[in-house]
Chains A and B, each alone.
Chain A
Amino acid sequence: MNEVVSTYNLSKKYGGEYRVKDVNLSVREGNIYGFLGPNGAGKTTTLKMILGLTKPTDGKVKVFGKVLEENREFILKQTGALIESPSYYGHLTGLENMRVVQRLRDLPDRNVVEALRIVRLEKQKDKKVSEYSLGMKQRLGIAMAIVSFPKLLILDEPTNGLDPAGIGEIRELIKSLPLQYGMTVLISSHLLSEIEQTATAVGIINNGVMMFQGSLEDLKKGKQPDILEKTGNNWLAQKLLTEKGYSPSVDGEFLVFRNLTDEQVPNVNRILTAGNIDVYRIEEQKKSLESIFLDMTGKESSL
């Protein structure tokens, strides 16, 4: 698969401080790439640099294999985008907003009809956008992004302001785009659940630094499960094992071991039995994606 978007040490400084630092992002053709990170992590700034809306302090952006700076027009003609909050002309109707994009991009009428149908705004198209709900404005923003049926679609937090049913619809829509229209989708979110259910590849950014990039399976595989042991005297057991070079922590009734190999598990058990400490239970606790994110970002699961 070809790389549709690739960035090389992409960095952006604001007021002497890096908002994005050495980000090497790689989005492959036909993928739905989930760009995940907490609020203020640098997602929007990175996406803006990919679209040429913000000038990088350092680094390079390539889209469709071409350098952005030299081929901006060529690239943007084949790219649809929704950045931050949806953009719209409130005094115009939904259809008139679509007509603005249609005229700018020289598109046929059928594209407008189809895009409005996809986001289910056909019945509301003649209403002024200032009278739309936030969810409807978000849908219109998506319709304006997909109206040209671009090769690359960049959506920045597209489900913001949508109700659960709306989030589900948009999720299904995004999932269908690569198959039905051959689009590559780059979608950013701070919601783990959203990315988990739509993305085929993920990038995790925190404090402007890329923490992980790859498939969700790789992300899960990369983290060893924790080993939990319940003993007759956790306090004594912790003291004894610390003396032997282990570093368990106490979590409720359990001693928790991180990064323990298979060979080390019976050894720990032997030390405890030799120390006359009863071992009631040994469990393996596989890490959920949520806890992996927590480990990476040190923030809450709604990142």
Chain B
Amino acid sequence: MKLVGIELYKLRRKHLFSMVMIFLLVEISWAFVVTARSVSGNSVYAGWKALIAMLSSMNGLFFPVLTAVCVSRICDMEHKGNTRKLLLAMSVKQNRLYAAKYASAAIVMFTAAVLQALAAAAFGITSAFERSVPLFLLFRFLTATIITNMIVAALQQWISMAVKNQAFALTFGMIGGFIGVVADLLPHNVRKVFIWSYYTGLSPVTQFYTGNHVIFSIRDTGSMVPVMTVLIIAGIVVYFAGSFHVSRQEL
């Protein structure tokens, strides 16, 4: 916990939280405008589903990039100032430093996801969607976003810590964002390989087109549990592989 506190202290003057807020504001504004338009032309019953489907889809584009930027900023300060050897010479263990950085990134991304869910609820209420706030649906949406974020963060941290040049990690994040957007167009067997596709892949609401109409349907909770379990295991494997690799790097 002490190391996590120090990591957050080190983020001073990095303007990380304001950057996340701006990013989030752009994303949710876009999503809300598009949802408001689509809802006004369709049945009000689709309101919440349309909103969640739209946010999931937007998350596929925005969150991989946002995660890459956050993780990169958290890791890059050790590369820039050559501070890893300073910390290790003060008996900080490499794997603990890695864990503290991951926890810091997780806190930031968790906060972003929660704020997004709260904003979605506020938007639904103020837009007078006919049904009351579907708490369970929002909770499932939040869980899906957080799980996918955590795995993307584990992968980004591995790259950001192992490769000093952060342009590599940021480019990787942007490629992730691109895949996150186009994932729904890929065949099922291909898309399931890419972790960025799970922003929509784990979303509780799925959408499909019949002629000129968009149909929203709610996925069965039970069918999502095995996928989530596999993803969490994959995330754990990526995290420990990264931690092991980075800890063995010569300084």
Contacts and interface: CB of A to CB of B under 8 A. Distances in A.
Contacts of B13: 91-92, 128
Contacts of A86: 82
Contact of A104 (B6, B77, B81, B82): B6
Contact of A96 (B12, B82, B91): B12
B86 interface: yes
A89 B77 contact: yes
Contacts, number: 68
B251 A76 contact: no
Contacts of A89: 10, 77, 81, 83
Contact of B89 (A83, A85, A128, A129): A83
B83 A87 contact: yes
Interface in B80-108: 80-83, 85-92
Interface residues of A, number: 31
A103 B2 CA distance: 8
B18 to A, nearest CB: 14
B9 A100 contact: yes
A53 B85 contact: yes
A291 B214 CA distance: 87
B219 interface: no
A89 B78 CA distance: 8
Interface string B1-23: 01001100110111000000000
- How big is chain B's contact interface, by range? 20 to 34
A25 interface: no
Interface string A79-90: 101011111111
Given A88-B83, A90-B81, A54 B89 contact: no
Contact of A84 (B5, B14, B80, B82): B82
Contacts of B251: 48, 53-54
Contacts of B12: 91-92, 96
Contacts of B250: 54
B90 A83 contact: no
A135 to B, nearest CB: 17
B99 to A, nearest CB: 15
Contacts of B86: 81, 83, 87, 101, 144
Nearest to A102: B6
B89 A51 contact: yes
B6 A100 contact: yes
A83 B83 CA distance: 10
A73 interface: yes
Contacts of A85: 82
A90 B80 contact: yes
Nearest to A104: B90
Nearest to B5: A103
Contact of B91 (A77, A99, A100, A103): A77
A105 B80 CA distance: 22
Interface in B237-251: 250-251
B3 to A, nearest CB: 8
A222 B178 CA distance: 71
Contacts of B5: 103
Given A53-B251, A89-B10, A104 B87 contact: yes
B82 to A, nearest CB: 5
A92 B87 CA distance: 16
Contacts of A53: 85, 88-89, 251
Contacts of A84: 82, 85
B13 to A, nearest CB: 5
Nearest to A141: B86
Contacts of A105: 90
B91 A76 contact: yes
B81 A101 contact: no
B9 A103 contact: yes
Instruction: Count chain B CB atoms within 10 A of each CB in A52, A90, A92 and give the residue with the most.
Output: A92
Nearest to A77: B91
A48 B10 CA distance: 25
Given A83-B89, A100-B10, A101-B86, 16 more contacts: A52-B88, A53-B251, A54-B251, A73-B91, A77-B91, A84-B82, A84-B85, A86-B82, A88-B83, A89-B10, A91-B14, A96-B12, A100-B9, A101-B90, A104-B6, A144-B86
30 contacts: A48-B85, A48-B251, A51-B88, A52-B88, A72-B91, A73-B91, A76-B89, A76-B90, A76-B91, A77-B91, A84-B85, A86-B82, A87-B86, A89-B10, A89-B77, A89-B81, A89-B83, A90-B81, A91-B13, A91-B77, A92-B13, A96-B12, A99-B9, A101-B86, A104-B2, A104-B6, A104-B90, A128-B13, A129-B81, A144-B86
Report the 10 A-B pairs with minimum CB-CB distance, sorted nearest first: A87-B86, A76-B91, A81-B89, A87-B83, A73-B91, A88-B81, A87-B82, A91-B13, A51-B89, A89-B81
